[in-house]
Amino acid sequence: MSPLTQFDVLALRREFPILQQEVNGHRLAFLDSGASSQKPRVVIDCLEDYYRRFNANVHRGVYKLSEEATFAFERARGKVARFVGAASHREIVFVRNTTEAINLVAYSWGGANLGPGDRILLTLMEHHSNIVPWQMLAERTGAHLDYIGLDGEGRLALEELDTKLSERTKLVALTQQSNVLGTINPVRLIAERAHAVGAKVLVDGAQSVPHMPVAVKELGCDFLAFSGHKMCGPTGIGVLWAKRELLEAMPPFLGGGSMIKLVELDHSTYADVPTRFEAGTPAIGEAIALGEAIDFLSGVGMAAIHHYECELLAYALDRLSEVGGLTIYGPSTPVERGAAISFTLDGVHPHDVAAILDSEGVAVRAGHHCTQPLHHHLDVPATTRASFYIYNLAEEVDRLAVGLEKARKLFA
Ligand code: PLP
């Protein structure tokens, strides 16, 4: 067991079948969990079990299989609610992913609450998922977008709140943790400032909910969006949490089956929340398997996960500082950031860096990571990103560093 270990990480790794393989003749070092995490056996088995034993549509059938599916689906909603400290399971809307959750809020809440001259405050470090839906909303409503800038180490320039937050600001939408810089933002403080001018706060939790304890009451936000596939769950399932009174006042996003009370030829009435926002057949097995992923993560303990990743991150920042020609973006102090490290290597294109690492069995991501405005601000077209999760090891950090040295020598 590594000295970093708060839990038995080697035993935990064995729960992830995909990590047992070799890639290009090397044991796989998967350092791209920021894009999508790997899945433990219990989650894979859970999905299979659903399709093998009780696959049926939910909320409709009066037969045993459908009742069983409905029970498991709604039980998963309860697990999600407890996981983020929601006041009720009714505050949990199942969507496909973070992107859909944010679009739902932009379309439904935004369409009903924003008008010409209103302002939406974002930050320069947002993922495109937390920019483009607001641009589309601004185009439809005549609202304007403002952005909080960054300091030299990729922290939010909080002093800009003084000028950029006003009574015209209707929404502040920000990520809790940057997928590129790793920066963890002071959401609670920003939420207090936003509420003081009457604005609502949406938190993009895609990179935080999988990695640290997140409780909506402590964040002080109004909406929280996250994706199952980044937290050991399947793809195709994500979550929007919203305060119940907000959800109840929001018009539907998509229309169709399930989300109605009564349909007549010329109009319909809508179901209560959260069903009002879940038109059509949902991702049933995926929601149930997300519940299993939550059980798995809770079993390890979110505080222990965060602690372990902080130690791994500190080790990685230290180890990578030995690699010549490497520029690391984001805060240099580990406590200010999560375990995603983006960097450039002098004289080597990020895609070449990733290709060389891949030849060593180290999987990292290269590109703009869906943050073009941030990369524009950093004045680089692309970066390479290594992102860590509970199953990564200090020795994988070493292999990353060795691979980077190799890339540097090859391109020298
Ligand atoms: N927000 C952040 C910070 C992300 O890192 C991502 C995905 O990488 C997203 C939003 C979008 O997530 P999804 O593609 O699951 O909708």
Do residues 276 and 340 both lie within one domain?
Answer: no
239 in Cβ contact with 95 (< 8 Å): yes
Does residue 34 carry a pLDDT above 70?
yes
Domain count, the chain: 2
Mean of the per-residue pLDDT values for the chain? 97
Q: Among the atoms of ligand 1, which is closest to the Cα of residue 204?
A: 1
Are 108 and 161 found together in one domain? Answer: yes
Q: pLDDT digits over 343-380, tens only?
A: 999 999 999 999 999 999 999 999 999 999 999 999 99
In this prediction, residue 242 carries a pLDDT of 98
Q: Give domain status of residue 338, yes or no.
A: yes
Q: Identify which of 127, 131, 230 to mutate to test ligand 1's pocket (most ligand atoms within 8 A of the CB).
A: 127
Residues 277 and 346 placed together within one structural domain of the fold: no
Quick one: 16 and 138 in the same domain?
no
Q: Please state, in angstroms and rounded to a whole number, the distance separating the CA atoms of residues 162 and 174.
A: 17
Does a structural domain hold residue 177? yes
Residue 2 resides in a domain: no
What's the Rg (C-alpha) of the chain?
22
More confident: 60 or 191: 191
Instruction: Please tell me the predicted confidence (pLDDT) of residue 1.
Output: 36
- Supply the range of the domain harboring residue 116: 45-299
**pLDDT bracket for residue 73 (50, 70, 90):** very high
DSSP codes, 260-272: EEEE-SS-EEEPP
**What's the pLDDT tens digit per position in 88-114?**
999 999 999 999 999 999 999 999 999
User: Does residue 39 lie within any of the structural domains?
Assistant: no
Last residue of a domain, one of 244, 276, 299: 299
Instruction: List beta partners, residue 173.
Output: 202
Over residues 290-325, the pLDDT tens digits come to 999 999 999 999 999 999 999 999 999 999 999 999
pLDDT of residue 7: 73
Q: What is the pLDDT averaged over residues 114-139?
A: 98
Residues 239 and 112 in one domain: yes
The CB-side HSE value for 285 (13 A sphere, CA atoms) comes to: 17
CA-closest residue to ligand 1 atom 8: 35
Distance 99 CA to ligand 1 centre (A): 7
79, 233 Cβ separation under 8 angstroms = no
CA distance to 11, 16, 76, 307, 319, per residue, from 3 (Å): 15, 21, 35, 13, 16
Asked if 25 and 85 sit in the same domain, the reply is no
The pLDDT score that the predictor gives to residue 412 is: 80
The span from the CA of 146 to the CA of 191, in Å, is 16
Write the residue with the smallest CA distance to atom 7 of ligand 1.
Answer: 35
Q: Give me the mean pLDDT over the 243-264 stretch.
A: 97
**Same structural domain, 131 and 279:** yes
Q: Cβ-count burial of 3 within 10 angstroms (0-12 exposed, 13-18 middle, 19+ buried)?
A: exposed
CA distance from start to end of the chain: 37
370 catalytic? Reply is yes
d(CA 158, CA 124): 12
108 and 83 inside one domain: yes
336: CATH = 3.90.1150.10
Residue 379, sorted as left (phi over 0), alpha (psi -120 to 50) or beta, turns out to be left
Residue 360: what pLDDT?
97
Mean pLDDT to the nearest integer, 395-407: 98
Q: Report the share of the chain in percent with pLDDT over 70.
A: 99
Q: Which atom of ligand 1 is nearest to the CA of 230?
A: 15
How many angstroms separate the CA atoms of 230 and 232, rounded?
6
Q: What would the two tokens of residue 364 be? A: 């990292």
Q: How far is the CA of 238 from the centre of ligand 1 (A)?
A: 10
- Does residue 4 lie within any of the structural domains? no
Task: Answer with the one of 299, 325, 354 that is the final residue of a domain.
Answer: 299
400: pLDDT strictly greater than 70: yes
Among 299, 324, 342, the domain boundary falls at 299
> Does residue 6 carry a pLDDT above 80?
no
- One of 46, 221, 310, 370 is an active-site residue; which one? 370
Residue 411: per-residue pLDDT: 92
Structural domain includes residue 96: yes
- Which residue type occupies 97? N
| Helix (H/G/I), strand (E/B), else coil: 144 | strand
pLDDT > 60? residue 3: no
Q: What is the spatial order of strands in the sheet that 383-387 belongs to? A: 326-328, 340-345, 383-387, 365-367
- Do residues 265 and 314 both lie within one domain? no
213 touches 362 (CB < 8 A): no
Is the pLDDT assigned to residue 2 strictly greater than 60?
no
Instruction: State pLDDT tens for residues 153-212.
Output: 999 999 999 999 999 999 999 999 999 999 999 999 999 999 999 999 999 999 999 999
Inside any domain, residue 213: yes
Out of 32, 129, 207, give the residue to mutate to test ligand 1, the one with the largest number of ligand atoms within 8 Å of its CB.
129
CA distance 166 to 143: 14
Q: Which of 200, 179, 178, 205 is nearest to 190 (CA)?
A: 200
Q: Are the beta carbons of 206 and 228 closer than 8 angstroms?
A: no
pLDDT band at 81 (very low <50, low <70, confident <90, very high): very high
Q: What does the pLDDT read at residue 167?
A: 97
Domain assignment of residue 40, yes or no: no
Q: CB 300: neighbour CB atoms within 10 A?
A: 19
> What are the tokens at 216?
């909506």
| Nearest-angstrom CA–CA distance, 66 and 60 | 7
Same domain? For 86 and 224 the reply is yes
Distance from Cα 82 to the centre of ligand 1, integer Å: 22
Domain of 91: which CATH number?
3.40.640.10
| Pocket test residue of 209, 370, 389 for ligand 1, highest count of atoms within 8 A of CB | 370
Whether residues 374 and 351 fall in one domain? yes
- The string of pLDDT tens digits covering residues 210-219 is 999 999 999 9
What span, in angstroms and rounded, lies between the C-alpha atoms of 40 and 157? 39
> Would you say the pTM of this structure is higher than 0.85?
yes
Instruction: Assess whether 15 and 151 both reside in one domain.
Output: no
Which residues have C-beta atoms less than 6 Å from ligand 1? Answer: 35, 97-99, 127, 129-130, 175, 179, 204, 206-207, 227
Measuring from atom 6 of ligand 1, which residue has the nearest CA?
206
Nearest CA to ligand 1 atom 4: 206
